[in-house]
Homo-oligomer: A and B are copies of this chain.
Amino acid sequence: MANITKKVSWSSRGDESGAAGEETPLLNGSEQSRPLRQMSSGSTVFQIGRLSTVDLDEEITTEEQDSARGRPKEIPHNEKLLSLKFESLDYDNIENQLFLEEERRMSFMAFRCLEISRWVICGLIGFLTGLIACFIDIAVEQLAGLKYKLIKENIVKFTEAGGLSISLLLWVALNSFCVMWGSIIVAFIEPIAAGSGIPQIKCFLNGVKVPRVVRLKTLVVKVVGVIFSVVGGLAVGKEGPMIHSGAVLAAGVSQGRSTSLKKDFKIFEYFRRDTEKRDFVSAGAAAGVSAAFGAPVGGVLFSLEEGASFWNQMLTWRIFFASMISTFTLNFFLSIYHNKPGELSNPGLINFGRFESEAMEYNLYEIPLFIAMGAIGGGLGAFFNFLNYWLTIFRIRYVHRPCLQVMEAMLVAAVTATVAFIMIYFSTDCQPLGPDHTEEYPLQLFCADGEYNSMATTFFNTPERSVRSLFHNPTGTYNSLTLGLFTLTYFFLACWTYGLAVSAGVFIPSLLIGAAWGRLCGILLASTTSTASMWADPGKYALIGAAAQLGGIVRMTLSLTVIMVEATGNVTYGLPIMLVLMTAKIVGDYFQEGLYDLHIKLGSVPFLHWEAPATSHWLTAREVMSSPVTCLNRIEKVGTIVDTLSNTSTNHNGFPVVVQVSGDDEPAKLCGLILRSQLIVLLKHKVFVELARSRLTQRKLQLKDFRDAYPRFPPIQSIHVSQDERECMMDLTEFMNPTPYTVPQDTSLPRVFKLFRALGLRHLVVVDDDNRVVGLVTRKDLARYHVGKHGLEELHLAQT
């Protein structure tokens, strides 16, 4: 709603007013209407977000100038906004008296038991994640098998008789039908389940409370949705959603209850707080990666790279345990499913197949080639992200109604099938069907008997199988034209697909595109030199290309290297894969951010990166903090508290608690910090001083009451406080955190940032020399600053 801007002047930029129009993000077009509408409703809106030391009138002018000046140049989007709707998770324990009393009561043995429970939970998380992966795999295999069999029979029937358009129609209809259901449940039931879920999990681990992201409903929609979309033949993978699924499972299992199902097992109550929950969600995400790629170490690294702000040996070890259990469970149940119990050859959903060391060793002179391929991957990845970025903006503006989203998804499914059909139809790349062919559904079409259509091995198959074929099929299986055409079409299809309202991952399509052009590179190399044996196997180049493309799109670093190495099952490729990913990242970052970061940015999420922007030493806490702050007295009138909480224009979540020292003339000193959620529980249980006196036998409020309410605290509106009660007093001493972290006003932004990020804070109180509250730093105050093309830039805050 309100959109409050603030200018910061940089010495490096002389002409501030002139530059502002170019750099300040704009709100116009469809997005602009809302802020303007709000603005007319009076000056109150400016109390919504945060007030700074800057004059308000000035701000309004600036913004209006901006939108007026910028309109002809910039197309509207919300990349440079920071939404105020996201709350923060609290990764700092609220060490109030209740908590400390509980901790002090606990014996050493009790802590041991807790530790053991943590291991048990991690084991459970791993096991269940493995089971879900297994379920998805089997369901997809069965349904896709059914579909391909049906279509293949149909095609065989009509190839000779003519009328292949009927086959096409069948294919299109089947795909659209599947995708329709996959899209309907996502768009109408749980929109947060769309996409791979990786950006959402990144945000969660970063400390942003993304609404409904770890709920049971999301999990169900995610799992069913991904089955439909993969079976529907979209250019998607089933790997990304596994990470989200693992995380949801972890959040559920670790709490020992399901709020959705209204079932409380009365176990693991100690873990009902953000700090502990995050650790388990990390484990869940890792278990998901592990099940998806058969990469337990990669899973751990993924969790750490995305989530951990503080590395803890035991935590890491537990996460690794969950990962191992997960891949093992999947492996075990799939081995039973494949009627080879005990043969553990399917550690992940995607199986790169076995790379034999001898056949595929690389030589020193190939390394520059690999690096060049990395650069290509980086460039293509940036192009992919660029296209997807504009597509997403288009979707935000025009395709936001659920039924439109479903229709778009169906359209993509139909187009995918049609394109695939046309490509296969016109392809003349016939290959002999060897005795040991690995194709599940070889299409003969117009090829001679004993031969099959090579294009069909890439299109007429689940993407996972196509990747494997590209890696391992012997030299000569594909001709260059097939690969080139396939790369081109699949690139655009995958780009169009990502961001649809279906549950689907981008890993496999990226790998497939990369494997196709990588293999093409290998074939071209072999054809340019006379000694073909020098470039032994095009499969090797397919692998490098796949790594380059994936790296260029998602820009993960260490974790992706390890995931790729583990998925190939061969350490030999460590160095080339690392070089390729590094090059792809450097080249890609030059043009455009990674796909996940882009989507996080487009969601206006207050995401905290690893470090404060390098050039932000100019700013101090005084400038970044929100002020003035609504403070509460240690013994406060209930009416005041209710009014403060009910004030929709502020909607604060943390309140410094202050105490008046001597007389009214001197400002109050900080003595604690209390959260909205705590106050709500207190109000609900009517913990008022007068009541406590009159009813001495009344049960004392315990930590358990707070835990029972976690994480869905009721809104203030649902709590009825009578007029008499409003006159009562509340003593916050016992419930507030008496030792909140504080910083002096002059602390530089990087220093504030470091403290905030390293400890996973939600509120950081800024105090003056006399320990008086002067401001409050929250996540959005820090996430606002980022390095743009012209130095430090500031995002606008918006109530979108």
Contact = CB atoms under 8 A, between A and B. Distances in A.
Contacts of A332: 364
Interface string A349-368: 00000100100010111000
B103 A558 contact: no
A615 B111 contact: yes
Contacts of A364: 332, 341-342, 344
B313 A557 contact: yes
Interface in A757-800: 758-759, 767, 769-771, 787, 791
A104 B744 CA distance: 20
Interface in A318-338: 320-321, 324, 327-328, 332
Nearest to A616: B103
Nearest to A296: B574
A738 interface: yes
A671 B297 contact: no
A565 B791 CA distance: 44
A26 interface: no
Given A364-B344, A569-B571, A671-B769, A314 B561 contact: no
Contact of A614 (B111, B771, B787): B111
Contact of A739 (B305, B361, B748): B748
Interface in A126-140: none
Nearest to A671: B769
Interface string A703-744: 000000000000000000000000000000000001101111
A743 to B, nearest CB: 7
Interface string A519-537: 0000000000000000000
A310 interface: yes
A304 interface: yes
A100 B751 CA distance: 11
A618 B105 CA distance: 10
Nearest to A741: B755
A610 interface: yes
A771 B305 CA distance: 38
A328 B572 CA distance: 11
Contact of A305 (B316, B363, B569): B316
Contacts of A771: 767, 769-771
A754 B739 CA distance: 13
A739 B314 CA distance: 33
A562 B557 CA distance: 17
Contact of A320 (B108, B297, B317, B561): B561
Contacts of A744: 738-739
Residue among A313, A557, A669, A791 having the largest count of chain B Cβ atoms under 10 Å: A313
A310 B758 contact: yes
B610 A313 contact: yes
A479 interface: no
A567 B324 CA distance: 19
A265 interface: no
A555 to B, nearest CB: 10
B570 A571 contact: yes
Contact of A746 (B93, B104, B310, B739): B739
Contacts of A344: 364, 575
A328 B362 CA distance: 13
A108 B571 contact: no
A93 B332 CA distance: 51
A578 interface: yes
Contacts of A617: 100, 103-104
Contacts of A67: none
A161 interface: no
A618 B748 contact: no
Given A12-B108, A296-B578, A320-B561, 20 more contacts: A95-B748, A104-B618, A106-B614, A106-B615, A108-B615, A297-B561, A309-B311, A310-B311, A312-B610, A312-B611, A320-B558, A324-B575, A324-B579, A332-B364, A342-B363, A357-B569, A569-B570, A570-B571, A739-B751, A769-B771
6 tightest Cβ-Cβ pairs between the two chains A and B: A111-B614, A103-B617, A342-B364, A739-B747, A758-B758, A317-B557
17 contacts: A95-B747, A95-B751, A100-B748, A103-B617, A107-B615, A108-B614, A108-B615, A296-B574, A304-B304, A305-B313, A309-B311, A324-B578, A324-B579, A344-B364, A569-B570, A669-B769, A742-B742
